[in-house]
Amino acid sequence: MPIIALTGNCVHESHARFLAAGFDGIVVKPFDRDLGLAAALQATGLQERHACQ
């Protein structure tokens, strides 16, 4: 089951720590439904990854 971090920090180093800790994706607050869906699709391999949006 994919695990997606929800954070208020959009710094590359933070994202690298989340991914190194085993998270499959990252969504930055404020949460947006479309970005949440995109993160879920990325974590399941159905869409390519993008940096902070």
25: how many CB neighbours lie within 10 A of its CB? 21
- In tens, the pLDDT along 9-32 reads 778 788 889 989 999 888 888 878
CA distance 6 to 26: 6
Q: Is 40 helix (H, G, I), strand (E, B) or coil?
A: helix
Neighbouring residues of 28: CB distance < 8 A, sequence distance ≥ 6:
7, 8, 9, 10, 35, 52, 53
pLDDT tens-digit readout, 24-53: 888 888 878 888 888 888 888 776 555 554
DSSP label at 33?
H
